[in-house]
A and B are shown apart, each in its own frame.
Chain A
Protein backbone atom coordinates (compact mmCIF):
# COMPACT_ATOMS: atom_id res chain seq x y z
CA UNK A 1 0.00 0.00 0.00
CA UNK A 2 1.30 3.45 -0.86
CA UNK A 3 0.13 6.81 0.33
CA UNK A 4 1.03 10.32 -0.66
CA UNK A 5 2.85 12.99 1.29
CA UNK A 6 -0.48 14.79 1.70
CA UNK A 7 -2.03 11.74 3.34
CA UNK A 8 0.86 11.32 5.74
CA UNK A 9 0.87 15.01 6.69
CA UNK A 10 -2.90 14.99 7.16
CA UNK A 11 -2.63 11.94 9.42
CA UNK A 12 0.04 13.61 11.56
CA UNK A 13 -2.04 16.77 11.76
CA UNK A 14 -5.18 14.88 12.75
CA UNK A 15 -3.31 12.95 15.43
CA UNK A 16 -1.76 16.09 16.88
CA UNK A 17 -5.09 17.92 16.84
CA UNK A 18 -6.81 15.04 18.60
CA UNK A 19 -4.10 14.98 21.26
CA UNK A 20 -4.79 18.65 21.94
CA UNK A 21 -8.57 18.60 21.52
CA UNK A 22 -9.16 20.51 24.72
CA UNK A 23 -6.18 22.83 24.50
CA UNK A 24 -6.76 26.56 24.70
CA UNK A 25 -4.29 29.43 25.02
CA UNK A 26 -4.00 30.93 28.47
CA UNK A 27 -5.91 34.15 29.25
CA UNK A 28 -2.54 35.87 29.59
CA UNK A 29 -2.11 35.58 25.81
CA UNK A 30 -5.12 37.75 25.02
CA UNK A 31 -3.93 40.24 27.60
CA UNK A 32 -0.56 40.33 25.88
CA UNK A 33 -2.26 40.98 22.55
CA UNK A 34 -4.29 43.78 24.09
CA UNK A 35 -1.15 45.44 25.41
CA UNK A 36 0.55 45.13 22.03
CA UNK A 37 -2.41 46.73 20.28
CA UNK A 38 -2.51 49.57 22.78
CA UNK A 39 1.19 50.23 22.25
CA UNK A 40 0.74 50.30 18.48
CA UNK A 41 -2.16 52.71 18.67
CA UNK A 42 -0.08 54.98 20.88
CA UNK A 43 2.83 54.85 18.42
CA UNK A 44 0.51 55.60 15.50
CA UNK A 45 -0.99 58.58 17.29
CA UNK A 46 2.50 59.92 17.91
CA UNK A 47 3.56 59.43 14.32
CA UNK A 48 0.50 61.19 12.90
CA UNK A 49 0.98 64.10 15.30
CA UNK A 50 4.59 64.39 14.20
CA UNK A 51 3.62 64.45 10.54
CA UNK A 52 1.18 67.31 11.02
CA UNK A 53 3.22 69.26 13.51
CA UNK A 54 6.71 69.09 12.05
CA UNK A 55 6.86 67.93 8.46
CA UNK A 56 3.35 68.59 7.26
CA UNK A 57 1.25 66.21 5.26
CA UNK A 58 2.74 64.96 2.01
CA UNK A 59 0.26 66.49 -0.39
CA UNK A 60 1.25 64.42 -3.44
CA UNK A 61 0.75 61.15 -1.68
CA UNK A 62 -2.48 59.38 -2.63
CA UNK A 63 -4.91 59.27 0.25
CA UNK A 64 -5.28 55.73 1.58
CA UNK A 65 -8.77 54.35 1.52
CA UNK A 66 -8.18 52.45 4.72
CA UNK A 67 -9.50 53.38 8.10
CA UNK A 68 -7.56 55.37 10.70
CA UNK A 69 -6.16 52.10 12.05
CA UNK A 70 -3.85 51.66 9.03
CA UNK A 71 -0.48 53.36 9.42
CA UNK A 72 0.07 55.69 6.45
CA UNK A 73 2.99 55.09 4.11
CA UNK A 74 5.41 57.99 4.01
CA UNK A 75 6.93 58.04 0.53
CA UNK A 76 10.42 59.04 -0.50
CA UNK A 77 11.28 61.34 -3.36
CA UNK A 78 11.23 59.44 -6.70
CA UNK A 79 14.29 57.37 -7.54
CA UNK A 80 15.27 56.70 -11.14
CA UNK A 81 15.62 52.96 -11.70
CA UNK A 82 17.21 51.58 -14.82
CA UNK A 83 14.73 48.77 -15.41
CA UNK A 84 16.75 47.36 -18.31
CA UNK A 85 20.20 46.89 -16.84
CA UNK A 86 20.15 47.78 -13.15
CA UNK A 87 22.59 45.81 -11.01
CA UNK A 88 21.33 46.89 -7.60
CA UNK A 89 19.99 43.41 -6.86
CA UNK A 90 22.81 41.46 -8.48
CA UNK A 91 25.41 39.70 -6.39
CA UNK A 92 28.01 41.10 -8.76
CA UNK A 93 28.18 44.88 -8.87
CA UNK A 94 30.81 44.24 -11.55
CA UNK A 95 31.00 40.92 -13.34
CA UNK A 96 34.00 38.70 -12.48
CA UNK A 97 36.79 38.69 -15.03
CA UNK A 98 37.57 35.48 -16.86
CA UNK A 99 41.09 34.36 -16.08
CA UNK A 100 41.27 36.51 -12.97
CA UNK A 101 42.22 35.18 -9.58
CA UNK A 102 39.62 33.27 -7.61
CA UNK A 103 38.15 35.44 -4.87
CA UNK A 104 39.70 35.36 -1.42
CA UNK A 105 37.45 33.92 1.25
CA UNK A 106 36.21 36.70 3.52
CA UNK A 107 33.38 35.69 5.80
CA UNK A 108 33.02 38.82 7.93
CA UNK A 109 33.58 42.55 7.88
CA UNK A 110 32.39 45.34 10.15
CA UNK A 111 30.33 43.06 12.33
CA UNK A 112 28.52 41.51 9.35
CA UNK A 113 29.24 37.88 8.61
CA UNK A 114 28.09 34.81 6.76
CA UNK A 115 27.55 31.32 8.13
CA UNK A 116 28.94 28.08 6.75
CA UNK A 117 28.37 27.27 3.11
CA UNK A 118 25.50 24.82 2.82
CA UNK A 119 25.30 22.53 -0.17
CA UNK A 120 21.70 21.42 -0.69
CA UNK A 121 21.02 22.41 2.91
CA UNK A 122 23.92 20.45 4.40
CA UNK A 123 27.29 21.58 5.64
CA UNK A 124 29.48 19.16 3.73
CA UNK A 125 32.22 21.40 2.41
CA UNK A 126 34.75 18.61 2.74
CA UNK A 127 32.93 16.38 0.29
CA UNK A 128 33.38 16.33 -3.41
CA UNK A 129 29.85 16.57 -4.74
CA UNK A 130 28.20 15.86 -8.01
CA UNK A 131 27.45 18.92 -10.05
CA UNK A 132 23.99 20.41 -9.68
CA UNK A 133 22.39 21.74 -6.54
CA UNK A 134 22.00 24.81 -4.37
CA UNK A 135 24.45 26.83 -2.32
CA UNK A 136 22.98 28.70 0.63
CA UNK A 137 24.28 30.90 3.41
CA UNK A 138 22.93 32.87 6.33
CA UNK A 139 23.90 36.51 6.94
CA UNK A 140 24.74 37.36 10.54
CA UNK A 141 25.38 40.61 12.39
CA UNK A 142 26.87 41.39 15.78
CA UNK A 143 26.60 44.48 17.96
CA UNK A 144 29.25 46.33 15.95
CA UNK A 145 27.20 46.09 12.73
CA UNK A 146 24.66 48.73 11.69
CA UNK A 147 21.82 46.69 13.13
CA UNK A 148 18.38 47.33 11.73
CA UNK A 149 19.65 48.74 8.43
CA UNK A 150 17.28 47.66 5.64
CA UNK A 151 19.36 45.68 3.14
CA UNK A 152 19.08 43.17 0.36
CA UNK A 153 21.20 40.05 0.38
CA UNK A 154 21.84 38.47 -3.00
CA UNK A 155 24.04 35.57 -3.87
CA UNK A 156 26.10 34.46 -6.82
CA UNK A 157 28.67 31.77 -7.44
CA UNK A 158 32.11 32.03 -9.01
CA UNK A 159 33.59 28.87 -10.54
CA UNK A 160 37.33 28.43 -10.39
CA UNK A 161 39.92 25.89 -11.48
CA UNK A 162 43.44 26.05 -10.08
CA UNK A 163 42.75 29.41 -8.49
CA UNK A 164 41.58 30.97 -11.77
CA UNK A 165 38.04 32.20 -12.50
CA UNK A 166 36.44 30.11 -15.25
CA UNK A 167 32.78 31.09 -14.90
CA UNK A 168 30.08 32.51 -12.71
CA UNK A 169 26.34 32.38 -12.25
CA UNK A 170 23.42 33.97 -10.43
CA UNK A 171 20.88 31.34 -11.49
CA UNK A 172 17.80 31.07 -9.25
CA UNK A 173 19.18 33.67 -6.86
CA UNK A 174 16.27 35.62 -5.41
CA UNK A 175 16.94 38.88 -3.58
CA UNK A 176 16.29 38.60 0.15
CA UNK A 177 15.19 41.85 1.77
CA UNK A 178 15.23 42.53 5.49
CA UNK A 179 16.68 44.46 8.38
CA UNK A 180 20.26 43.57 9.26
CA UNK A 181 20.45 41.59 12.48
CA UNK A 182 16.66 41.58 12.83
CA UNK A 183 15.26 39.54 9.97
CA UNK A 184 16.53 36.19 8.72
CA UNK A 185 18.64 36.79 5.60
CA UNK A 186 19.25 33.45 3.90
CA UNK A 187 20.21 33.92 0.24
CA UNK A 188 20.87 31.00 -2.05
CA UNK A 189 22.00 30.36 -5.60
CA UNK A 190 21.59 27.45 -7.99
CA UNK A 191 24.60 25.62 -9.37
CA UNK A 192 23.64 24.29 -12.77
CA UNK A 193 25.32 22.48 -15.62
CA UNK A 194 24.35 25.29 -17.98
CA UNK A 195 26.36 27.90 -16.14
CA UNK A 196 28.28 30.46 -18.18
CA UNK A 197 31.85 29.38 -18.85
CA UNK A 198 34.81 31.47 -19.92
CA UNK A 199 35.71 30.83 -23.51
CA UNK A 200 38.33 32.99 -25.20
CA UNK A 201 38.29 35.49 -22.39
CA UNK A 202 34.55 36.01 -22.20
CA UNK A 203 31.68 34.02 -20.76
CA UNK A 204 29.46 31.97 -23.00
CA UNK A 205 26.23 30.49 -21.72
CA UNK A 206 25.91 28.11 -24.65
CA UNK A 207 29.08 26.19 -23.85
CA UNK A 208 28.34 25.24 -20.26
CA UNK A 209 30.98 23.82 -17.96
CA UNK A 210 33.33 21.23 -19.48
CA UNK A 211 34.17 17.98 -17.73
CA UNK A 212 36.51 18.61 -14.82
CA UNK A 213 36.90 19.48 -11.17
CA UNK A 214 35.83 22.88 -9.94
CA UNK A 215 35.55 25.01 -6.88
CA UNK A 216 32.35 27.01 -6.39
CA UNK A 217 32.86 30.17 -4.33
CA UNK A 218 29.61 31.57 -2.90
CA UNK A 219 29.53 35.35 -3.12
CA UNK A 220 27.05 37.30 -1.02
CA UNK A 221 26.38 40.97 -1.57
CA UNK A 222 24.73 42.88 1.27
CA UNK A 223 23.52 46.11 -0.23
CA UNK A 224 21.51 49.13 0.88
CA UNK A 225 20.79 52.13 -1.34
CA UNK A 226 17.79 54.17 -2.51
CA UNK A 227 17.67 51.98 -5.60
CA UNK A 228 17.50 48.84 -3.48
CA UNK A 229 14.67 50.40 -1.45
CA UNK A 230 12.79 51.22 -4.65
CA UNK A 231 13.17 47.68 -5.94
CA UNK A 232 11.97 46.35 -2.61
CA UNK A 233 8.84 48.48 -2.88
CA UNK A 234 8.22 47.16 -6.38
CA UNK A 235 8.94 43.51 -5.63
CA UNK A 236 7.81 43.03 -2.04
CA UNK A 237 6.34 46.29 -0.83
CA UNK A 238 3.39 48.55 -1.53
CA UNK A 239 3.75 48.52 -5.32
CA UNK A 240 3.48 44.75 -5.34
CA UNK A 241 0.76 44.50 -2.73
CA UNK A 242 -2.02 45.02 -5.24
CA UNK A 243 -1.33 41.75 -6.98
CA UNK A 244 0.50 39.56 -4.50
CA UNK A 245 -0.21 38.19 -1.07
CA UNK A 246 3.35 37.57 0.07
CA UNK A 247 4.46 41.14 0.55
CA UNK A 248 5.74 43.31 3.36
CA UNK A 249 2.43 45.14 3.66
CA UNK A 250 -1.26 44.51 3.17
CA UNK A 251 -3.23 45.29 0.00
CA UNK A 252 -4.72 48.38 1.63
CA UNK A 253 -1.33 50.05 1.45
CA UNK A 254 -0.84 49.55 -2.27
CA UNK A 255 -0.75 52.82 -4.21
CA UNK A 256 -4.00 53.23 -6.16
CA UNK A 257 -3.81 52.08 -9.75
CA UNK A 258 -0.81 49.79 -9.34
CA UNK A 259 -2.40 46.59 -10.55
CA UNK A 260 0.36 45.16 -12.71
CA UNK A 261 3.42 46.93 -11.46
CA UNK A 262 5.55 43.94 -10.70
CA UNK A 263 4.83 42.46 -14.10
CA UNK A 264 5.22 45.75 -15.88
CA UNK A 265 8.59 46.53 -14.45
CA UNK A 266 10.01 43.12 -15.22
CA UNK A 267 8.55 43.18 -18.72
CA UNK A 268 8.72 46.82 -19.82
CA UNK A 269 6.66 46.24 -22.94
CA UNK A 270 3.58 45.50 -20.88
CA UNK A 271 1.48 48.66 -20.67
CA UNK A 272 1.50 49.81 -17.05
CA UNK A 273 -1.81 50.53 -15.41
CA UNK A 274 -0.51 52.76 -12.71
CA UNK A 275 -1.04 56.44 -12.15
CA UNK A 276 1.93 58.77 -12.00
CA UNK A 277 0.61 59.94 -8.67
CA UNK A 278 1.66 56.58 -7.30
CA UNK A 279 5.24 57.43 -8.15
CA UNK A 280 5.85 55.13 -11.05
CA UNK A 281 6.44 56.23 -14.62
CA UNK A 282 7.30 53.50 -17.09
CA UNK A 283 7.44 55.58 -20.24
CA UNK A 284 11.13 54.90 -20.77
CA UNK A 285 13.93 52.56 -19.78
CA UNK A 286 14.12 54.44 -16.52
CA UNK A 287 11.29 54.10 -14.02
CA UNK A 288 10.63 56.71 -11.39
CA UNK A 289 9.74 54.90 -8.20
CA UNK A 290 8.98 56.15 -4.72
CA UNK A 291 9.50 53.86 -1.76
CA UNK A 292 8.40 53.86 1.89
CA UNK A 293 10.97 55.95 3.73
CA UNK A 294 11.68 53.22 6.26
CA UNK A 295 13.06 51.03 3.45
CA UNK A 296 16.23 53.11 3.36
CA UNK A 297 18.25 54.43 6.29
CA UNK A 298 21.75 54.56 4.85
CA UNK A 299 24.14 53.20 2.22
CA UNK A 300 25.88 49.86 2.59
CA UNK A 301 27.58 47.73 -0.03
CA UNK A 302 29.56 44.75 1.18
CA UNK A 303 30.67 41.62 -0.62
CA UNK A 304 31.56 38.54 1.38
CA UNK A 305 32.94 35.30 -0.01
CA UNK A 306 32.20 31.98 1.67
CA UNK A 307 34.21 28.80 1.81
CA UNK A 308 34.22 27.11 -1.60
CA UNK A 309 32.55 23.81 -2.37
CA UNK A 310 34.48 21.37 -4.51
CA UNK A 311 32.54 19.58 -7.20
CA UNK A 312 33.09 17.77 -10.45
CA UNK A 313 31.39 17.68 -13.82
CA UNK A 314 31.60 14.10 -14.93
CA UNK A 315 30.08 14.40 -18.38
CA UNK A 316 29.58 17.17 -20.87
CA UNK A 317 26.86 19.37 -19.44
CA UNK A 318 25.56 20.67 -22.73
CA UNK A 319 25.60 18.91 -26.05
CA UNK A 320 27.46 20.84 -28.65
Chain B
Protein backbone atom coordinates (compact mmCIF):
# COMPACT_ATOMS: atom_id res chain seq x y z
CA UNK B 1 0.00 0.00 0.00
CA UNK B 2 1.29 3.48 -0.88
CA UNK B 3 2.49 5.57 2.06
CA UNK B 4 -0.04 8.32 1.40
CA UNK B 5 -2.87 5.81 1.37
CA UNK B 6 -1.76 4.37 4.67
CA UNK B 7 -1.66 7.82 6.27
CA UNK B 8 -5.01 8.68 4.69
CA UNK B 9 -6.69 5.51 5.97
CA UNK B 10 -5.25 6.08 9.43
CA UNK B 11 -6.55 9.62 9.51
CA UNK B 12 -10.07 9.03 8.22
CA UNK B 13 -10.54 5.90 10.35
CA UNK B 14 -9.74 7.66 13.57
CA UNK B 15 -10.32 11.36 12.94
CA UNK B 16 -12.94 11.86 10.25
CA UNK B 17 -15.88 12.64 12.59
CA UNK B 18 -13.71 15.11 14.50
CA UNK B 19 -12.60 16.82 11.29
CA UNK B 20 -16.18 17.20 10.08
CA UNK B 21 -17.14 18.51 13.51
CA UNK B 22 -14.36 21.10 13.25
CA UNK B 23 -15.58 22.04 9.79
CA UNK B 24 -19.08 22.43 11.18
CA UNK B 25 -17.79 25.29 13.36
CA UNK B 26 -16.57 27.08 10.27
CA UNK B 27 -19.41 26.53 7.82
CA UNK B 28 -23.03 27.55 7.55
CA UNK B 29 -24.60 24.10 7.14
CA UNK B 30 -23.90 20.40 7.74
CA UNK B 31 -23.66 19.88 3.98
CA UNK B 32 -20.98 22.55 3.70
CA UNK B 33 -19.06 20.94 6.57
CA UNK B 34 -19.00 17.58 4.80
CA UNK B 35 -17.99 19.20 1.54
CA UNK B 36 -15.26 21.30 3.13
CA UNK B 37 -13.78 18.24 4.86
CA UNK B 38 -13.73 16.17 1.69
CA UNK B 39 -12.17 19.02 -0.29
CA UNK B 40 -9.51 19.49 2.40
CA UNK B 41 -8.62 15.79 2.33
CA UNK B 42 -8.21 15.93 -1.44
CA UNK B 43 -6.11 19.07 -1.18
CA UNK B 44 -3.78 17.70 1.50
CA UNK B 45 -3.36 14.13 0.26
CA UNK B 46 -3.37 15.20 -3.38
CA UNK B 47 -0.05 16.99 -2.83
CA UNK B 48 3.07 15.37 -4.20
CA UNK B 49 4.36 15.14 -0.66
CA UNK B 50 1.54 14.65 1.84
CA UNK B 51 2.17 15.03 5.59
CA UNK B 52 4.23 12.14 6.93
CA UNK B 53 2.14 11.40 10.02
CA UNK B 54 -1.55 11.34 10.81
CA UNK B 55 -1.02 14.11 13.37
CA UNK B 56 0.57 16.34 10.74
CA UNK B 57 -2.17 15.41 8.30
CA UNK B 58 -4.82 16.29 10.86
CA UNK B 59 -3.30 19.76 11.29
CA UNK B 60 -2.93 20.24 7.55
CA UNK B 61 -6.52 19.22 6.87
CA UNK B 62 -7.76 21.65 9.52
CA UNK B 63 -5.72 24.43 7.89
CA UNK B 64 -7.21 23.57 4.53
CA UNK B 65 -10.72 23.55 5.99
CA UNK B 66 -10.17 27.04 7.42
CA UNK B 67 -8.75 28.32 4.14
CA UNK B 68 -11.67 26.96 2.15
CA UNK B 69 -14.29 28.14 4.60
CA UNK B 70 -12.90 31.67 4.76
CA UNK B 71 -12.01 32.20 1.11
CA UNK B 72 -14.23 34.34 -1.03
CA UNK B 73 -17.09 34.54 1.44
CA UNK B 74 -16.50 37.81 3.17
CA UNK B 75 -19.82 39.26 2.12
CA UNK B 76 -22.95 39.24 4.16
CA UNK B 77 -24.30 35.69 4.49
CA UNK B 78 -27.64 34.58 3.10
CA UNK B 79 -28.92 33.64 6.52
CA UNK B 80 -30.07 36.44 8.83
CA UNK B 81 -27.25 37.93 10.86
CA UNK B 82 -29.53 38.66 13.78
CA UNK B 83 -31.52 35.66 14.92
CA UNK B 84 -34.87 36.73 16.30
CA UNK B 85 -36.86 35.03 19.03
CA UNK B 86 -36.02 32.27 21.45
CA UNK B 87 -34.80 29.73 22.23
CA UNK B 88 -31.37 30.36 20.85
CA UNK B 89 -28.77 27.81 19.94
CA UNK B 90 -25.14 28.87 20.03
CA UNK B 91 -24.33 26.85 16.92
CA UNK B 92 -27.12 28.47 14.95
CA UNK B 93 -25.90 31.90 15.95
CA UNK B 94 -22.35 30.95 14.99
CA UNK B 95 -23.62 29.87 11.58
CA UNK B 96 -25.31 33.24 11.14
CA UNK B 97 -21.93 35.00 11.21
CA UNK B 98 -20.14 35.60 7.94
CA UNK B 99 -17.48 33.05 7.06
CA UNK B 100 -14.40 35.12 7.86
CA UNK B 101 -15.76 36.22 11.23
CA UNK B 102 -16.60 32.61 12.04
CA UNK B 103 -13.04 31.64 11.14
CA UNK B 104 -11.70 34.39 13.42
CA UNK B 105 -13.76 33.03 16.31
CA UNK B 106 -12.69 29.42 15.76
CA UNK B 107 -8.99 30.19 15.28
CA UNK B 108 -8.90 32.54 18.25
CA UNK B 109 -11.01 30.66 20.76
CA UNK B 110 -11.06 27.01 19.68
CA UNK B 111 -7.50 26.82 18.36
CA UNK B 112 -6.28 29.45 20.83
CA UNK B 113 -4.13 31.29 18.31
CA UNK B 114 -3.02 34.85 19.10
CA UNK B 115 -4.68 37.63 17.13
CA UNK B 116 -1.55 38.14 15.04
CA UNK B 117 -1.53 34.49 13.98
CA UNK B 118 -5.24 34.62 13.17
CA UNK B 119 -4.60 37.65 10.98
CA UNK B 120 -1.75 35.86 9.23
CA UNK B 121 -3.79 32.73 8.62
CA UNK B 122 -6.71 34.65 7.18
CA UNK B 123 -4.56 37.30 5.51
CA UNK B 124 -6.46 40.15 7.06
CA UNK B 125 -5.37 42.96 9.35
CA UNK B 126 -5.01 42.65 13.11
CA UNK B 127 -7.58 45.36 13.56
CA UNK B 128 -9.97 43.51 11.28
CA UNK B 129 -9.62 40.40 13.45
CA UNK B 130 -10.32 42.35 16.63
CA UNK B 131 -13.35 44.10 15.18
CA UNK B 132 -14.73 40.82 13.87
CA UNK B 133 -14.31 39.18 17.27
CA UNK B 134 -16.15 42.09 18.82
CA UNK B 135 -18.81 41.86 16.14
CA UNK B 136 -19.17 38.14 16.77
CA UNK B 137 -19.78 38.80 20.43
CA UNK B 138 -22.40 41.40 19.61
CA UNK B 139 -24.16 39.24 17.04
CA UNK B 140 -24.41 36.41 19.53
CA UNK B 141 -26.96 38.64 21.21
CA UNK B 142 -28.03 37.66 24.73
CA UNK B 143 -25.68 34.66 24.68
CA UNK B 144 -22.71 36.98 24.92
CA UNK B 145 -21.70 39.68 27.31
CA UNK B 146 -21.05 42.52 24.85
CA UNK B 147 -18.69 44.31 27.19
CA UNK B 148 -16.62 41.19 27.66
CA UNK B 149 -16.54 40.72 23.91
CA UNK B 150 -14.08 43.61 23.74
CA UNK B 151 -11.61 41.50 25.65
CA UNK B 152 -9.84 38.32 24.67
CA UNK B 153 -12.15 36.19 26.78
CA UNK B 154 -15.83 36.47 26.04
CA UNK B 155 -18.49 35.41 28.48
CA UNK B 156 -21.60 33.58 27.41
CA UNK B 157 -24.66 33.70 29.61
CA UNK B 158 -26.33 30.32 29.86
CA UNK B 159 -28.55 31.05 32.82
CA UNK B 160 -31.22 28.47 33.39
CA UNK B 161 -34.05 30.98 33.12
CA UNK B 162 -33.20 31.87 29.53
CA UNK B 163 -36.19 31.29 27.31
CA UNK B 164 -38.73 31.68 30.06
CA UNK B 165 -41.20 34.49 30.28
Contacts and interface: CB of A to CB of B under 8 A. Distances in A.
A66 B49 contact: yes
A41 B48 contact: yes
Contacts of A21: 17
A188 B128 CA distance: 7
Nearest to A10: B110
Interface stretch (A27-35, A84-92, A94-102, A286-294): A27-35
B49 to A, nearest CB: 5
Interface in A159-211: 171-174, 176, 183-184, 186, 188-190, 192
Interface in A21-59: 21-25, 29-30, 32-34, 36-37, 40-41, 44
A191 to B, nearest CB: 9
7 contacts: A13-B24, A17-B18, A20-B17, A33-B4, A136-B124, A188-B125, A190-B128
Interface residue SS majority, chain B: helix
B76 A122 contact: yes
A204 B131 CA distance: 26
Q: How large is the interface on B (under 10, 10 to 19, 20 to 34, 35 or more residues)?
A: 35 or more
B80 to A, nearest CB: 13
A143 B98 CA distance: 27
B49 A16 contact: no
Contacts of B8: 30, 33
B101 to A, nearest CB: 6
Given A20-B17, A138-B74, A184-B71, A33 B45 contact: yes
Nearest to A22: B17
B109 A5 contact: yes
A63 interface: no
A120 B131 contact: yes
Contacts of A244: 120
B124 A40 contact: no
A192 B125 CA distance: 13
A75 B68 CA distance: 29
Q: Which of B8, B25, B46, B127 has the most CB of A within 10 A?
A: B127
4 A-B pairs with the lowest CB-CB distances in the bound complex, closest first: A172-B125, A36-B46, A16-B21, A5-B109
Contacts of B160: 1
Interface residues of A, number: 66
B28 interface: no
A118 B101 CA distance: 13
Contact of B124 (A133, A174, A246): A174
Contacts of A120: 131-132, 135
Interface string A118-155: 10111100000000011010100000000000000000
Interface in A242-291: 244, 246, 250, 252
A4 interface: yes
Given A29-B42, A172-B127, A37 B76 contact: no
Given A12-B25, A138-B74, A37 B124 contact: no
Nearest to A244: B120
Contacts of A172: 125-128
B7 to A, nearest CB: 11
Contact of A9 (B46, B81, B106, B135): B106
A13 B21 CA distance: 5
A152 to B, nearest CB: 11
B65 interface: no
B72 interface: yes
A259 to B, nearest CB: 18
Contacts of A5: 105, 108-110, 153-154, 156
Contacts of B131: 120-121, 133-134
Given A25-B16, A122-B81, A174-B125, 9 more contacts: A12-B24, A12-B25, A17-B17, A32-B42, A37-B47, A69-B48, A134-B131, A174-B124, A184-B72
